[in-house]
Chains A and B, each alone.
Chain A
Amino acid sequence: MGTSEPGAWLLLAGATRLAASAAGLACRRRPGLARAAVFGGAAIASALTGGVGLLGLGALAPLRGRLVAHEASGQSLGYSVDALSGFFLVVLAILGIAVAVYGVGYFARSTPGRVVFVGVALNVLLGAVETVLVADGAIGFLLGWELMTLATAALVATEHEEPAARRGAFLYLALSHVGTGGLVAGFFLLAAGAPSVAFADILGPRAAALPSRDAAFLLFLAGFGVKAGVIPLHVWLPEAHPAAPSPISALMSGVLIKTGIYGVFRVCVAGLGLPPLAWGGVVFALGAVSMLLGVLYALTQHDLKRLLAYHSIENVGIILVAAGVGMVALSLGRPGLATLALGASLLHVLNHALFKGLLFLGAGAVVAESGTRNIEHLGGLARRMPWTAGFFLLGAMAISGLPFLNGFVSEWLVFQSLLLGFHSSSDTFVRVVFPIGGALLGLTTALAAACFVKAFGVTFLALPRGKGAAEARETGPLMLAPQAGLALLCLAIGLVPGPIVSRLVGLAGSLVGAPPGTGGLEASLFRIAPVAGRFDTLSLPLAAAAFAVSLGLAAVLAARAAFARRPAATWGCGGELTAEAEYTATAFSKPLMMIFGAIYRPTREVSTLETAPYYASEVRYRSEVEPTFERFVYRPLTRGLLTLAGRLRVIQAGSLHAYLGYVMALLLFLVVLLWWRG
């Protein structure tokens, strides 16, 4: 095997992960060494697969080969790295390296046993995701998929003393298996009568001609939707993501849910032939619902990590809206528009991985230092943890879609595809649905900004509201460096998006087989613009220069009084200002909660506990948002399933004779079936 062969690099990465895990287990009595081994190995292996990903991203034809072969049975596992796999591998590698480096610092205070457990599980998880991304057939894909689910569940249950972690892990396992069931059924539908289960054999033209391709589409969408956290299949996400250790949460929100998006692109967008209009419509609608409800539920959260988890649902929604626009454009025979929308979707995959990884790593530092995830007990951290605060602020601005950061670029592209689609199409569906999508995306972005003013402001600004926040200290360089790296990438894409955008739009074009020259975007270093007679252009370097000059003007104007600065305590209406007087996160989101009361259906309880002569001296306030999906969908569903299981107990009587009878009956049935069919 030559060194240039990607298979060798993939195997080397796998071997590195195994060796790192073994080394970690071997030196579990020396925690420092074990940490360096497991996390260092994970970072090196991620760098290797990231390199393979770059090769795939640059290659014209998919890089194929065989990973493992079993001589006796003639079975083998192959890999195939095309641009799509390559792109996702790169995203995974960026976050994998960041999380591994961060982990060395983060787990410094954990027990050695836990360090080794997390390190080994992390290596297994990263290896499994890599397997999913490079698999060239259904078997490898499902093997990796299942391993990924199990490793994630183990990591969610890391802090298994906490009931919340156990519950999160269980919910994740249960729903993931329902999803995997959908995928298996989908692959069965596609593989019936095919020469093999390799993607080359079951996807593409053959699948396009299947009569059952609508059913296959729905099965795959449900299976991938569970993993991606699409509403209404999302209920595991806000339970499992916060329960995991923070670097693992970053990986889950940044990349793991994107494996669902990878699946949607691989199978639903490009694998089942030209998608009909209805498919695009379904994906679009699911995305629109997910983004709006995701951000609305995020607004009511006071648990920093749960809030970020709900924002993952929002961003998956944005990714799917763009994918839906692309599919609709494909079905209408508009390859240029389709590549623009799909490219926007892929860019948002990368962007979300970067800023959500950044935010979760920052939240991890806050939680580790202050000991609480409840932002109502935080505050004042910007003075105690200035670097973490700065990086978190950049992440918050990126996720709010503000200019000069990466989130704005992908949202700009999604808006372009929606509006350009509307402008250049006379299809009634497009004319009705796209403007609604545009308005909802605008609302979502604005609400996300409101949510992150709250999340950043209440966590990092003003006076500390609790002892943990008052005693927090800045974290070490190992935990800050990955945040700095991710923040720099967010800024780089936000300032000079041209190269990456044009590469991703090109990727989308090759994925859907758009004829060359029909690309939907002109991009250079300084400017990006959809190809459509001066429809719109964006030159972020130019805009940033204007902004920088204006910022300079502000400094010049204020220069005369620059040194005349008098520090004074904030006026507390006559009394001393304490942390109790500060606006809380509950209060901050209260107006929006009342305005969207029809969706939240909040319950509120106010009780006066003690009354001094003239005013209430102690009041207790409790407010809750109704968990609509849990209550109206999942609770009846689980209740029904349990009832059904109870009924089925009749045949599970424990009698050996009965079981032999069942086996006999099945055998007879199969014989009759064979005789009847053949």
Chain B
Amino acid sequence: MSPSTTNVGALALAAVAQAVAFLLLAPVLRGLVRKAKAAFQIREGPRLLQPFFDLVKLLGKERMRSTTASWVFAAGPRVYFASMVAATALVPAAVAFAPLEAAGGVLLLVALLALGRFALATAALDTGSPFGGMGASREMTVGALAEPALMLALFTAGLSAGSLNLGELVRRSAERGVSIHPSAVLAAAALFIVLLAEGGRVPVDNPATHLELTMIHEAMVLEYSGADLALVEWGSAVKELLFLTLLAGLFLPIGVATSLAPTALAVGLAAFAAKVLALAFLVVLVESTNAKLRFFRVPELMAVALGLGFLALAMRFF
């Protein structure tokens, strides 16, 4: 299944299929998470497909553009959305193979995420609203601290498998099976903390907050409406699913399909769904049992993630 022997058209088709699957599943996952959170709060919660309906509705609505804003404001959500969607083709999901793994490995993935963050944070400064600036400043601060932790966790996984290419990495760890080596556990924990930070989840950020002063991500995108907002929301949902997929693929390589045989594929899809759901449930558990941290306590959490990453790397190699 190496990219050189497979023909280009099939790869492009696989990339498109994976991106479309991510785009369709991400809002559903959001709905599931909301439902589970509501269950913890003994509420009924919105419909499962509500996030999807919201997106469709927003895509058809007019957008408000601030009279003070420039072309940067309009470009922000598009670049953000495009970086997240392009990143989906780099990550293996149900099959131990990523459609565009020839394009790059973990470093390209991290850089694409950084591109999306840069675009949205820059655009947030464009309307002149203080909330946009506040959100952008906080997002870049948390991002700057989360990025080294994310890199260390990914490096640990990559160096243990001997490759930074995500497809190669997942194939090698699938061969080896689930590792309960302490370094894998610590790296997974570091990646999980980064997932909470990058996904804008409690205890770093509260996606459901109503007070602008405490927001990070929501404050940054406060001025967006209509189709612009839909692109931001959809991009964020894809980003969350991307992180869950990454965590599942790197540290829980159970049931990943290593061939395209129908049974292997079916097992792979089922295993992927189960893993992502389990991890999403873990996120809900953390969100429901924790309070949001004060913003200036977040660096401590990120320092923990960074420390875990270092420990993970050290344990693997000494």
Chain A residues within CB distance 8 Å of chain B: 380, 382-383, 386, 389, 393, 397, 400-403, 408, 412, 415-416, 419, 422-423, 431, 435, 438-440, 442-443, 445-447, 449-450, 452-454, 456-458, 460-463, 527, 533-540, 542-543, 546-547, 549-551, 553-555, 557-558, 560-562, 564-572, 577, 579, 581-584, 587-592, 594-595
Find A453's partner among B79, B110, B118 (CB 8 Å cutoff): B118
Chain A residue at smallest Cβ distance from B226: A561
Find A461's partner among B103, B126, B299 (CB 8 Å cutoff): B126
- Nearest-neighbour CB distance to chain B for A466, whole angstroms, equals 14
Q: How far is the CA of A457 from the CA of B15 in the complex (A)?
A: 34
CB of B129 within 8 A of CB of A538, answer no
Any A CB within 8 A of the CB of B67: yes
Q: How far is the CA of A558 from the CA of B230 in the complex (A)?
A: 9
- Nearest-neighbour CB distance to chain A for B4, whole angstroms, equals 11
CB of B130 within 8 A of CB of A419, answer no
Find A536's partner among B85, B163, B309 (CB 8 Å cutoff): B163
Q: Please, which residues of chain B bring their CB within 8 A of the CB of A591?
A: 137-138, 141, 295-296
CB of B165 within 8 A of CB of A565, answer no
Q: How far is the CA of A547 from the CA of B136 in the complex (A)?
A: 23
Find A569's partner among B66, B108, B130, B152 (CB 8 Å cutoff): B66
Selected A-B contacts with CB under 8 Å, 13 pairs: A416-B107, A419-B155, A422-B317, A454-B140, A456-B122, A463-B68, A534-B163, A536-B165, A543-B104, A543-B108, A550-B19, A566-B64, A570-B67
CB of A577 within 8 A of CB of B103, answer no
CB of A431 within 8 A of CB of B59, answer no
CB of A536 within 8 A of CB of B107, answer yes
Q: Please, which residues of chain B bring their CB within 8 A of the CB of A554?
A: 77-78, 81-82, 85, 231
CB of A542 within 8 A of CB of B103, answer yes
What 20 additional pairs, Cβ within 8 angstroms, besides A453-B122, A536-B107? A442-B152, A445-B114, A446-B145, A453-B118, A453-B136, A457-B136, A543-B103, A547-B86, A549-B86, A550-B86, A554-B77, A561-B60, A561-B226, A566-B64, A572-B129, A582-B128, A582-B133, A587-B137, A591-B141, A594-B296
Chain B residues within CB distance 8 Å of chain A: 15-16, 19, 59-72, 77-79, 81-83, 85-86, 89, 100, 102-105, 107-108, 110-112, 114-115, 117-118, 121-122, 125-130, 132-134, 136-138, 140-141, 143-145, 147-148, 151-152, 155, 158-159, 162-165, 168, 223, 226-228, 230-231, 234, 295-296, 299, 306, 309-310, 313-314, 317-318
Q: Please, which residues of chain A bring their CB within 8 A of the CB of B66?
A: 567-570
Chain A residue at smallest Cβ distance from B61: A561
Q: Please, which residues of chain A bring their CB within 8 A of the CB of B234?
A: 557
Chain A contact residues: over half helix, strand or loop, or mixed? helix
CB of A569 within 8 A of CB of B67, answer yes
CB of A557 within 8 A of CB of B105, answer no
CB of A571 within 8 A of CB of B86, answer no
CB of B136 within 8 A of CB of A588, answer yes
Find B63's partner among A431, A460, A535, A566 (CB 8 Å cutoff): A566
Given A435-B310, A446-B147, A457-B125: A402 touches B111 (CB 8 Å cut-off): yes
Q: How far is the CA of A581 from the CA of B223 in the complex (A)?
A: 15
CB of A461 within 8 A of CB of B122, answer yes
- Nearest-neighbour CB distance to chain A for B291, whole angstroms, equals 20
CB of B59 within 8 A of CB of A449, answer no
Given A453-B136, A461-B72, A463-B68: A538 touches B103 (CB 8 Å cut-off): yes
Q: Please, which residues of chain A bring their CB within 8 A of the CB of B15?
A: 546
Q: How far is the CA of A536 from the CA of B79 in the complex (A)?
A: 25
Q: How far is the CA of A450 from the CA of B122 in the complex (A)?
A: 9
CB of B141 within 8 A of CB of A567, answer no
Q: How far is the CA of A435 from the CA of B147 in the complex (A)?
A: 14
Chain B residue at smallest Cβ distance from A563: B62
CB of B89 within 8 A of CB of A546, answer yes
Q: Please, which residues of chain B bring their CB within 8 A of the CB of A449?
A: 114, 117-118, 140, 143-144
Q: How far is the CA of A567 from the CA of B226 in the complex (A)?
A: 13
Chain A residue at smallest Cβ distance from B222: A571
Q: Please, which residues of chain B bring their CB within 8 A of the CB of A551?
A: 78-79, 82
Q: How far is the CA of A347 from the CA of B140 in the complex (A)?
A: 27
- Nearest-neighbour CB distance to chain B for A595, whole angstroms, equals 5
Q: Please, which residues of chain B bring their CB within 8 A of the CB of A542?
A: 100, 102-103
CB of A570 within 8 A of CB of B162, answer no
Given A442-B148, A595-B145: A558 touches B133 (CB 8 Å cut-off): no
CB of A457 within 8 A of CB of B134, answer no
Q: Which 10 A-B pairs rank lowest in CB-CB distance, beginning with the nearest?
A: A583-B133, A457-B125, A564-B62, A462-B128, A550-B82, A450-B140, A550-B85, A558-B227, A446-B147, A536-B164
Chain A residue at smallest Cβ distance from B225: A566
CB of A561 within 8 A of CB of B63, answer yes
Given A542-B100, A557-B230: A534 touches B137 (CB 8 Å cut-off): no
Q: Please, which residues of chain B bring their CB within 8 A of the CB of A565?
A: 62-63, 65
Chain A residue at smallest Cβ distance from B172: A534
Q: Please, which residues of chain B bring their CB within 8 A of the CB of A461?
A: 69-70, 72, 122, 125-126, 128
Q: Please, which residues of chain B bring their CB within 8 A of the CB of A570?
A: 66-69, 127-129, 223
CB of A539 within 8 A of CB of B223, answer no
Most chain A C-beta atoms within 10 Å of own C-beta, residue among B59, B105, B118: B118
Q: Please, which residues of chain B bring their CB within 8 A of the CB of A546?
A: 15, 86, 89, 100, 103
CB of A431 within 8 A of CB of B68, answer no
Q: Please, which residues of chain A bring their CB within 8 A of the CB of B141?
A: 450, 591-592, 595
Find A419's partner among B137, B158, B168 (CB 8 Å cutoff): B158
Given A536-B107, A558-B231, A561-B227: A569 touches B147 (CB 8 Å cut-off): no
Q: How far is the CA of A555 from the CA of B125 in the complex (A)?
A: 22
CB of A557 within 8 A of CB of B89, answer no
Find B162's partner among A401, A533, A590, A592 (CB 8 Å cutoff): A533
Most chain B C-beta atoms within 10 Å of own C-beta, residue among A456, A546, A558, A584: A546
Chain B residue at smallest Cβ distance from A295: B144
CB of A583 within 8 A of CB of B134, answer yes
Q: How far is the CA of A145 from the CA of B66 in the complex (A)?
A: 53
Most chain A C-beta atoms within 10 Å of own C-beta, residue among B115, B295, B313: B115
CB of B155 within 8 A of CB of A435, answer yes
Find A537's partner among B105, B117, B151 (CB 8 Å cutoff): B105
Q: Please, which residues of chain B bring their CB within 8 A of the CB of A595?
A: 141, 145, 296, 299
CB of A397 within 8 A of CB of B118, answer yes
Q: Please, which residues of chain B bring their CB within 8 A of the CB of A594?
A: 296
Q: Please, which residues of chain A bring their CB within 8 A of the CB of B228?
A: 558
Q: How far is the CA of A590 from the CA of B317 in the complex (A)?
A: 38
Chain B residue at smallest Cβ distance from A447: B144
- Nearest-neighbour CB distance to chain A for B186, whole angstroms, equals 14
- Nearest-neighbour CB distance to chain A for B59, whole angstroms, equals 6
Q: Please, which residues of chain A bring their CB within 8 A of the CB of B77?
A: 554
Chain B residue at smallest Cβ distance from A533: B162
CB of B103 within 8 A of CB of A539, answer yes
- Nearest-neighbour CB distance to chain A for B20, whole angstroms, equals 9
CB of A408 within 8 A of CB of B85, answer no
Given A419-B155, A462-B127, A550-B19: A442 touches B147 (CB 8 Å cut-off): yes
Q: How far is the CA of A408 from the CA of B83 in the complex (A)?
A: 15
Chain A residue at smallest Cβ distance from B167: A534
Q: How far is the CA of A416 from the CA of B158 in the complex (A)?
A: 12
Q: Please, which residues of chain A bring their CB within 8 A of the CB of B144?
A: 443, 446-447, 449-450, 592
Q: Please, which residues of chain A bring their CB within 8 A of the CB of B143?
A: 446, 449-450
Q: How far is the CA of A555 from the CA of B122 in the complex (A)?
A: 20
- Nearest-neighbour CB distance to chain B for A592, whole angstroms, equals 5
Q: Please, which residues of chain B bring their CB within 8 A of the CB of A412?
A: 107-108, 111
Q: How far is the CA of A402 from the CA of B143 in the complex (A)?
A: 14
Q: Please, which residues of chain B bring their CB within 8 A of the CB of A415?
A: 107
Q: How far is the CA of A539 from the CA of B108 in the complex (A)?
A: 10
Q: Please, which residues of chain B bring their CB within 8 A of the CB of A558?
A: 59, 78, 227-228, 230-231
Find B147's partner among A445, A564, A583 (CB 8 Å cutoff): A445
Q: Please, which residues of chain A bring their CB within 8 A of the CB of B230?
A: 557-558
Q: How far is the CA of A337 from the CA of B107 in the complex (A)?
A: 18
CB of B111 within 8 A of CB of A539, answer no
- Nearest-neighbour CB distance to chain A for B161, whole angstroms, equals 10
Q: Please, which residues of chain B bring their CB within 8 A of the CB of A393?
A: 72, 122
